[in-house]
Amino acid sequence: MAFDALFQPVSIGTLTLPNRIIMSSMSTRMAKTGGGMTDRLIEHYCRRARGGASLITVELADVHPLMPHLRQTLWLHNDAAVEAMRPLTDAIHENGARASIQIGVFFRPVMAGLCQYTASLKSPEAQPHAQELTAVELDRLGDVIAMGCLRAKRAGYDAVELHGVHGSIMEEFLSPFWNRRTDGYGGTREKRMRFPLEVLEKTRRLTGDDFPIIFRICGSEFHPEGTTVEDAVAFARAAEERGLNALSLSGGIGHIDHLAISASYEKRGMLLPASRAVKENCRIPVIVANALTPQMACDAVAGGDADIIALGRPLLADPDWPRKMKEGRMEEIRPCIRCNQGCMGGLRDASLPHIFCLTNPQMGRLMQDTPPAAEHPLNIVVVGGGPAGCEFAHTAAVRGHHVTLLEKENRLGGQFRTASVPPGKADFRALSDYFEVVLPRAGVDVRLNTEAGLQMLRNMQADVVVVATGSDPVLPSVPGMELPHVCLAVDVLKGRVVPEGTVAVLGGGATGLETAHLLAEQGHAVTVVDMLQEFGRDIVAHVGVREKLLHLLEEAGVKFMPRRRVKSVTASGVELDERPLFGGGNVELLPADSVVVAMGQRPAVALFRELEASGIRCLAVGDCARPGNALAAIHAAYDLALSL
């Protein structure tokens, strides 16, 4: 088989795994506040075990009641927590995988009102109220972490992963960016490694020589003042001498640049050079993650870049990733598109109950591996092949309904395929490509280049018509919108219109910013105008997406004009009112050769209303029901398919 390299056994100390695909640790917020176990959390990990991952690394567990990194997190800070963990480790084993858990400490996200502790008061991120950890406190902290690892062993875990990356306190000590100390715990590389190595030694003494220990560190922080590949190699050698069984590499400088959980704008496989360097300099297995495609994962192991592949978000998107690879069904893997909306966004948004996945609406649900069979199969016609239409069609067909999908374009994907056009958005195309593969295999009759109308749908005699016609761009009632140099952003993205000269983009949401990015890359001088102060408000923040896009736009020379109301478009540019609420302020002219409009969407409901008036049973889903983002559309489509 083409992917045999991934399915060879590998040993981490005394632990032998049947394949080289493991699940990396990712916080879920599925635990109870106060560290309690939930059925949802257990099922989340068991589902990935059933999918074929050989080792499930459970999310970070807190080892002290005053050091929680999230409000809904697992605890391992007392003996009662050991027994509370047993249902999870037993369930993972019963579902065919071995279990590890990540142990570490964060101080920078203050969740308990505790004073922020830091490796160094001279750290660029140290807060004014922070306290530098003393040698005595470090000794005690090492004991606390090691004891947490011993409790993990007693709870039935087959291995433990020490967390030394992503802004944890051990990364703070390892990194010259964070660690500006001048005592025995900072300054030289050897001194920066001292505290993490002391934690490793304490953990080894407590857990015994036969218990597998993995250490996760930065292969590189990709920052001129941060950890380098040479630092990672040096730590690997020193840790191996002290009994480490495997080294796991991540990257980035904490949650400042978000490279550890990179968005689609970042290059895939950034850590492969680091993993090869470490692997060439130590004998223990090297684990690598960081946005590897299935082919890249196989090539990394086969080519000697790494021994084991750790998957985080890809297993949220498709828990059967390992099984499908083994069976040669790579094209059927539901892709992670690195949007970070449901996974990282779910951690940031306290209004959500837990993390989600944009492309996989089953993630986080308490249900069987496949949707339940329909009690009464229906003949269903779906109009529209965007994300909502495709998700509905696939789920309904898997349940046993007879589904026909009509799409007016020559490819599936709708606006999601258009969204893959701007720079850094190519990953988004993968979801549309996935649906083109799996819909016919699920039995969906896909008819492209087919414009649905009332008479056609009446003749098809469906039990129900599901309208997923999406939304149409809004062209505001502003003088000059009819001028020939004015166009819609969607027409630019689809290549129907090629703007000339300097460009004014009206609308600072995702569509406007991404279109501005495309135009800037094509060499245009671009200015983005918006009524609001903040640009990209509809893009999830603090997860590396909005921040990266705005940074790229700034680098490309795009200019921003917030708090402006469009008064009119003229032959020479756009007249802007500095009083955005009602107008009436000073008016200025923004010179522009071309004007691109990205000022929102409205539901495309004409067909739905026509069907409704004719008496044909119809349901609306996606943007034509309620304009929003793709996550909401896909999840609503899945729910609708379950309801029929």
Q: Copy the structure tokens of residue 134.
A: 């003393």
Interacting residues of 628 by C-beta distance below 8 A, sequence separation 6+: none
Do 545 and 613 share a domain, yes or no? no
CATH number of the domain encompassing residue 181? 3.20.20.70
Q: Is residue 337 assigned to a domain?
A: yes
β-sheet bridge partners, residue 247: 215, 286
Average pLDDT over residues 448-471: 96
Q: Centre a 10 Å sphere on the Cβ of residue 136 and count the other Cβ atoms it contains.
A: 8
Do 441 and 557 share a domain, yes or no? no
In Å, what is the CA distance from 238 to each residue of 182, 544, 624? Answer: 21, 33, 59
Q: d(Cα 622, Cα 79) in Å, to the nearest integer?
A: 48
Do 399 and 344 share a domain, yes or no? no
- Reported confidence tier of residue 114, pLDDT bands at 50, 70, 90: low
Average pLDDT over residues 224-243: 96
Q: d(Cα 256, Cα 376) in Å, to the nearest integer?
A: 52
Do 154 and 208 share a domain, yes or no? yes
Q: Contact at 8 Å (CB) between 411 and 493?
A: no
**CA angle centred on 475, ends 469 and 479, rounded to 5°:** 165
Res. 115: pLDDT tops 90: no
Q: Is residue 474 assigned to a domain?
A: no
CATH number of the domain encompassing residue 512? 3.50.50.60
Domain holding 14, by residue range, is: 4-348
Average pLDDT over residues 135-152: 97
Q: Is residue 9 assigned to a domain?
A: yes
Do 450 and 588 share a domain, yes or no? no
Q: Contact at 8 Å (CB) between 238 and 231?
A: no
Q: Contact at 8 Å (CB) between 134 and 181?
A: no
Q: Is residue 575 assigned to a domain?
A: yes
Average pLDDT over residues 494-508: 97
CATH number of the domain encompassing residue 454? 3.40.50.720
Q: d(Cα 449, Cα 319) in Å, to the nearest integer?
A: 33
Q: Copy the structure tokens of residue 240.
A: 């191996």
Taking Cα atoms as reference points, which of 591, 145, 545, 66 lies closest to residue 337? 545
> Of 298, 326, 348, at which residue does a domain stop?
348
Q: Contact at 8 Å (CB) between 251 and 219?
A: yes
pLDDT in tens, 54-106: 999 999 999 987 777 777 889 998 988 999 999 999 999 999 999 999 999 98
pLDDT at residue number 153: 98
**CA angle centred on 358, ends 354 and 359, rounded to 5°:** 130
Do 441 and 587 share a domain, yes or no? no
In Å, what is the CA distance from 474 to each residue of 259, 302, 426, 451, 489? Answer: 35, 51, 25, 22, 10
Do 300 and 394 share a domain, yes or no? no
Interacting residues of 585 by C-beta distance below 8 A, sequence separation 6+: 565, 577, 578, 579
pLDDT in tens, 287-318: 999 889 999 999 999 999 999 999 999 999 99
Can you say how many angstroms the Cα of residue 182 is from the centroid of all Cα atoms in its chain?
A: 38
pLDDT at residue number 117: 87
Describe the crossing of helices 189-207 and 135-154 by its angle, rounded to 10 degrees.
40
What 8-state DSSP symbol labels residue 63?
Answer: S
Res. 255: pLDDT tops 80: no
Q: Contact at 8 Å (CB) between 73 and 27?
A: yes
Q: Is residue 371 assigned to a domain?
A: no
Q: d(Cα 196, Cα 201) in Å, to the nearest integer?
A: 9
Do 144 and 238 share a domain, yes or no? yes
Do 533 and 629 share a domain, yes or no? no
Q: Is residue 31 assigned to a domain?
A: yes
> Of 301, 328, 348, at which residue does a domain stop?
348
Q: How many domains does the chain have?
A: 3
Under DSSP, is residue 329 helix (H, G, I), strand (E, B) or coil? Answer: coil
Q: Copy the structure tokens of residue 206.
A: 């407590």
Q: Is residue 356 assigned to a domain?
A: no
Do 248 and 339 share a domain, yes or no? yes
Do 547 and 612 share a domain, yes or no? no
> Of 599, 615, 633, at which residue does a domain stop?
599
Q: d(Cα 288, Cα 260) in Å, to the nearest integer?
A: 11
Do 104 and 118 share a domain, yes or no? yes
How do beta strands 587-591 and 573-577 pair?
Answer: antiparallel
Q: Is residue 355 assigned to a domain?
A: no
β-sheet bridge partners, residue 250: 218
Q: d(Cα 471, Cα 624) in Å, to the nearest integer?
A: 5
- Positive or negative torsion for Cα 470, 472, 473, 476: negative
Whole-structure pTM value: 0.95
In Å, what is the CA distance from 151 to each residue of 102, 263, 453? Answer: 12, 35, 64
pLDDT in tens, 540-598: 888 889 999 999 999 999 999 999 999 999 999 999 999 888 888 899 999 999 999 99
